[in-house]
Chains A and B, each alone.
Chain A
Amino acid sequence: MTALLEVRDLVKTFGMGEAATRVLHGLTLTMEAGELAALLGPSGSGKSTLLTILGTLMHPTSGSHTMLGLDLTTASDSALTEFRNLHIGFVFQFHNLLPDFTALENVCFPTAVREGRETTAARTRGQELLVRMGLADRVHFPTANLSGGQKQRVAVARALMNRPELVLADEPTGNLDRASASQVMDLIAEINHDEGTTFLISTHDEKIAALCRRQIVVGDGIVTG
């Protein structure tokens, strides 16, 4: 089985001169398709930075980044935008949803932005995903009226909308109570099992990490475990 993604000798330095902070010190990581992996490490260890680079939202200072056999290290902004849209889903900790749109509209966004409009097919799939996330009665809710746990489940549904190979989740449960957190994690595990979607979930919650089949530990800007 070939690797879904591979990063080699990733270095990321923020700022220049004396203010320069080196966050990643030559990090190397390979993930296979279908993995359910937790990204662990103390706060400030570079988890978010790594996820951002893997999500093609940021270029590394040096090192290589390939996914699905494509070299993404030097790809153009528009090429990366399209790649992201088709192959990567995101779940963030805060500011996840578009506040002026309904749950369904948020879920449909990745497809609609590519197709130029919200098609019936997209709406049907969006609705199915929301039902799957246990939000059948919240489909047309403005996202501002949803609870934290519901918001994160909408975000998971949206991340899955375009059937991406990889979903990157940056502390998706960091803001949730234990019950909501495990509900979200259960759904992620279920999707991973049923669809084979690869998940990389950053967290510093050991219980959450325990639900994942692989644990990747980051420390001093490299993978330590």
Chain B
Amino acid sequence: MLYALKIATRYLTASKAQTALLVFGVAIGVFIFIFMSALIGGLAEFIMMRTAGDMAHITIQAEAVDPALLQPNTGRTVLLVQEPTTQTTAILKDTAAFLPLIEALPGVTGTSQQINGSGFLTRGVQVTQVSINGLEPGHESVIVNLASYITEGTANLGAGGVLVGKTLAEDMDLSLGQTVRLQSAQAIDAALTITGIYEIGSGGPDRRQAYVSLATARTLFALPQGVTRIEIKLADLYTADALAPRIMALTGLDAKSWTEQAAQLLEALQAQAQTGFILKAFALLTIIIGVASALLLSTYRRRPEIGIMRAMGAGRWFVMVVFVSQGALIGLMGGLFGAAAGYGVLLAFPSRVSFGPGQSGLPIDIRQGAYGLAIWLTTLGAILASILPARAAARLDPVTAIGQ
């Protein structure tokens, strides 16, 4: 084994330019592999953070309860008229009883009790329809990291404060400290002071949303107790599908995983991962074909030597190991160089963490380069690639190979 390795090494160093070219070719394949891994991984994480990162991982929504009906005797058609004013908003009561249970579950990093509804924001003669989110003070940034999106003022919601998006502020010419009037669909209104302006970077929340404190929302929607929604954040968003049923069993409430609403996003991410997988597979295939053809050429060129080695008592297995070792060494060297080059080039890109929404370029994640996997797969691929040429070499008839 050791001796076969010595001969393999000598063969590689004997034709330095050719070996260097081959290793270079393999390194390019590895580089592409690593770059794709970092890009697809970074992109997925970026998209996740931009969308799923700012969304609740598990949501408990109060179910609208239809008012009970007294069934008339059979055979009669009943016309039912529902008065809008008497419609009761579905609420979750006794949150204090089950919230600690949810918060104690492993993997739950935060909960947010909310009262949500729609309403109108008025300043002077300008009126804009908005969706109103009532958040607990101190829990403003649990789901959407509001604090990080604040461009003016603060994310802390006081009793008479309201947070609006930057687009809305621009559209209505609002500025920090101004007073606006917020009216709910229940026609209750409140005068509120703009204490913060945020820019999340996506249209909806920036244009049509107003955050108020839970207490303000209670007044606006006439809900002296309970909340309309509980949102739950997890350490690992992929555990949501497993945790939602547990929460359901624990509380008897309808807990939904984010994946139920985000099927499209997941599909897109999956498609993206598949594209990456195909590109990486092609990079590997190129490496395998390159190594195989180079070694096939080498076995042809060294036919007389193979014949001599066989005449001197080298077995077929020995010849096989000599050529497979060459493949393995090329793969390993190409893998190492490619991985080093990949890491070096990725260093030049802005880190994924610092990559912002408006920034041009690529959200590459240097930690997702899959360096070890790239080196390992390349070496394995090169070994596989060398088996065919090595077998051809081992099966050469020594007499015709020597060609006396």
Contacts and interface: CB of A to CB of B under 8 A. Distances in A.
Interface residues of B, number: 26
Contacts of B93: none
Give the most central of B3, B304, B307, B318: most A CB within 10 Å. Answer: B3
Nearest to B306: A98
A17 interface: no
Nearest to B1: A116
B266 interface: no
B191 to A, nearest CB: 91
A48 B316 CA distance: 23
B404 A57 contact: no
B308 A98 contact: yes
B3 A100 contact: no
Interface stretch (A25-33, A82-90, A146-154, A191-199): A82-90
Contacts of B304: 95
B367 interface: no
B308 A96 contact: yes
Interface stretch (A105-113, A123-131, A176-184): A105-113
A96 B304 CA distance: 9
Contact of B399 (A52, A93, A94, A101): A52
A171 to B, nearest CB: 8
Nearest to A109: B312
A81 B10 contact: no
Interface in A13-42: none
A117 interface: yes
Contact of A77 (B309, B316, B318): B316
A99 interface: yes
Contacts of B399: 52, 57-58
B404 A109 contact: no
A166 B399 CA distance: 18
B402 A113 contact: no
B391 to A, nearest CB: 14
Given A81-B313, A84-B311, A118-B6, A100 B14 contact: yes
Chain B binding surface SS class: helix
Nearest to A115: B3
A82 B313 contact: yes
Given A100-B10, A100-B14, A118 B3 contact: yes
Interface string A71-86: 0000001100110111
A73 to B, nearest CB: 17
B11 A92 contact: no
Contact of A94 (B2, B309, B313, B404): B404
B6 A99 contact: no
Interface in B309-348: 309-316, 318
Given A94-B404, A98-B308, A78 B315 contact: yes
A158 interface: yes
Nearest to B313: A85
Contacts of A84: 311-313
A81 B3 contact: no
A110 B313 contact: yes
Contacts of B314: 81, 113
Contacts of B310: 57, 81
Contacts of A90: 311-312
Interface in A60-80: 77-78
A145 to B, nearest CB: 14
A101 B11 CA distance: 9
Interface in A132-165: 158, 162
B403 interface: yes
Contact of B2 (A96, A100, A110, A116): A116
B53 interface: no
Contacts of B404: 48, 92-95, 170
B305 interface: yes
Nearest to A168: B311
B362 to A, nearest CB: 45
A203 B313 CA distance: 25
12 contacts: A57-B398, A81-B313, A84-B312, A92-B404, A95-B304, A110-B313, A112-B3, A113-B3, A113-B312, A113-B313, A116-B3, A162-B313
Interface of A: 48, 52, 55, 57-58, 77-78, 81-82, 84-86, 90, 92-101, 109-110, 112-118, 158, 162, 170
Given A82-B313, A94-B404, 9 more contacts: A48-B404, A55-B311, A57-B310, A86-B313, A90-B312, A92-B404, A113-B309, A162-B313, A170-B404
